[in-house]
A and B are shown apart, each in its own frame.
Chain A
Amino acid sequence: MNLGAIDPVLLIASLMVASTPIILAALGELVVEKSGVLNLGVEGMMITGAICGFAVAVETGSPVLGFVLAAVGGAVMALIFGILTQYLLSNQVATGLALTLFGLGISAMIGQGYRGIKPPATPKLDMGPLSDLPVVGRILFSHDWMVYFALALVAAVWAFLKFTRGGLILRAVGESHDAAHALGYKVVRIRLAAIAFGGACAGMGGAYISLVRVPQWTDGMTAGAGWIALAIVVFSSWRAGRVLLGAYLFGGITVLQLNLQAAGVPVPVEILSMSPFVITIIVLVIMSATQRGAAVAPAMLGRIFHASS
């Protein structure tokens, strides 16, 4: 056993990288759920984004273009879900699950010709002297631009929901779609926009896995990250800031688990792997035990809206 072998600075730096895909996906899902829609297809949208981004980056040689098209791919997938649930009024849980299965299948099909290929590298941002600062430089100023983009997006979503008129409308739709409709807001259109945003975020999260974190394409490579993102939204009790906390907790435990093994600490892998989920359940229990806990979730979450009702 040699705990000294684990460098906390490097540990934090790598947990920031490991958490980036789930931050993006969870943030997108947070906005979707705030509008009153439950989309369980995060995993399917992530894997679709992963292959779209990978394929485009390989063909064009540009990782930036890859990320953009990953967002488009994820959004297209999400809009399939949107049209089914918002216009055809299908059940959101079943449609979301179907979207995951569909995404895993179609990504494997698109990905046939992209196995074993190296994608163009996503360079780390060059921040000059800032990166050379002790401790802070390694943790904060030595990542690729997607890490900063994800962090900026957390702040943007938080500000949007809290301070802007648009955020207020989105929340109103999620809390009472009938009231929002009576006020003249286009409930379906607002929800479709939220769903597309969620898909775009999930797609970029998936592309981060295939373009930066691994980087290569293999079938089913998101390996459950979408489900973790869904758990984090609940864990965060629908707040953008806590999404960050939750993602770092989940990402951190994954990285810590491997580091502890490498350092020869005999901690059972299974216990560490399940701990974030156990914590999520505990948080849920605490939330529902308190009086105001029940009011945390958007009131219309998962409910079908039709203007006639």
Chain B
Amino acid sequence: MKRRTLLGATAALAVLATGAFAQTDKVKVGFVYVGPIGDGGYTYEHDQARLKVIEHFGDKVETVYQESVPEGADAERVMTQMALSGTDLIFATSFGFMDPAANVAAKFPNVKFEHATGYKTAPNLAIYNARFYEGRAVLGHIAGKMTKTNKIGYIASFPIPEVLRGINSAYIHAKKANPDVEFNIIWAYTWFDPAKEADAAKALIEQGNDVLLQHTDSTAPHAAAQEAGNVIAFGQASDMAEYKPMPRVSSIIDNWAPYYIDRVQAVMDGTWETSDTWDGIAPGMVEIGEITGIPEDVKEEALALKDKIAAGEYHPFTGPLNKQDGSVWLAEGETAEDGALLSMDFYVEGMKSEIPN
């Protein structure tokens, strides 16, 4: 009996060892997700990109992922575990993973880290982000054109620069399309909580908001809009195509696949180095989902706006723009610098509510 156990253990060890050897010529890539991959939104798109990485590299790559990782100490534990198990490259895909990623990166200088939507870098910690605000300008235009009550509801997650950029960009372009428009913001304090997002959407609809924008990741607000009937909504992070053509009339889609493939290739070639990537509509990191269920002229205006942004002819934050308190932010014709956008902590003039602190 004992001998058999010993034999079994030896065999298991041999398997493990071959497994470990087999891994050395493969690049092992880890993904840390903030929500479940079935959220139909933000995390879903990251996972689609992971699948494209596998499709692109085939046997040369091995991926691991961990979903629904809380932002905080747990994230640090997850990344440490990934680094210890021989991962070469780790993508931390949410803003709240910034400090954990920085801490773990300091402990494992030979493992490469990539953090989405943050601002801390290190020799082995790169950052990447998408210019979602370019997409939000297009959605804001449609929202302004489509609202009949002149009230647009916005389900926001956390009061951080990323989210404030989105609100401001959407507001500026909604207001250009319709000067009477008013934005009503609900801070959900979560990236993903379908019950809360549904309640927030219902509260907004009951107060007469007939267009919903969201910076949270589930499709729950679409379900609420569908039930209410005459309300439209926009896909966030993913197409949310199951609610086409109404209430979902368009969407912002995050396409991370080209970036992920690039970075994995760089690790394979040994050319990976830390970087700061911030791409928008032009390189295809931000896509506008198919526009459905709205009048043809609005659709054409929206697409024209998108093309102008993609061609670099138009910046969504172009002066004259004032801050909410009336002070001048951008003079006539001036465009916002990236630094100012990355640290945005104010609303533009015309917004009614206050940013919670």
Contact = CB atoms under 8 A, between A and B. Distances in A.
Interface of A: 5-7, 10-11, 14, 18, 115-116, 118, 209, 213-216, 218-223, 254-255, 258-259, 261-264, 266, 268-269
B223 A118 contact: yes
B354 interface: yes
Looking at B68, B203, B218, B242, which has the most chain A CB atoms within 10 Å of its CB?
Answer: B203
A223 B195 contact: yes
B220 to A, nearest CB: 5
6 contacts: A14-B206, A116-B39, A209-B195, A214-B223, A262-B153, A263-B207
Contact of B353 (A216, A255, A264): A264
Nearest to B199: A258
Nearest to B206: A10
Contact of A223 (B193, B203, B206, B209): B193
Contact of A259 (B68, B207, B354): B207
A261 to B, nearest CB: 5
Q: Could you say which interface size class chain B belongs to?
A: 35 or more
Interface string B199-210: 110111011110
B186 A115 contact: no
Given A6-B207, A216-B219, A254-B199, A264 B194 contact: no
Instruction: Report the 5 A-B pairs with minimum CB-CB distance, sorted nearest first.
Output: A115-B38, A258-B203, A10-B206, A264-B353, A116-B40
A51 to B, nearest CB: 13
A192 to B, nearest CB: 31
A115 B40 contact: yes
Interface in B69-128: none
Contacts of B198: 213-214
Which secondary structure characterizes the binding site on chain B? mixed
A214 B202 contact: no
B60 interface: no
A255 B199 contact: yes
A264 B184 contact: yes
Contact of B194 (A6, A214, A255, A261): A214
A261 B355 CA distance: 11
Contacts of A215: 223
Contacts of B192: 218
A6 B207 CA distance: 6
B204 A262 contact: yes
B223 A262 contact: no
Contacts of A221: 194-195
B203 A262 contact: yes
Contact of B220 (A5, A216, A263): A216
B36 interface: yes
A264 B186 CA distance: 9
Contacts of B272: none
A218 B34 CA distance: 13
A259 B203 contact: yes
A59 to B, nearest CB: 17
A255 B187 CA distance: 13
Looking at B193, B199, B200, which has the most chain A CB atoms within 10 Å of its CB?
Answer: B199
Given A213-B199, A254-B199, A263-B207, 6 more contacts: A11-B206, A14-B199, A222-B195, A223-B196, A261-B187, A266-B353
Contacts of A262: 153, 184-186, 200, 203-204, 207, 209
Given A6-B207, A258-B203, A263-B184, A213 B356 contact: no
B39 A218 contact: yes
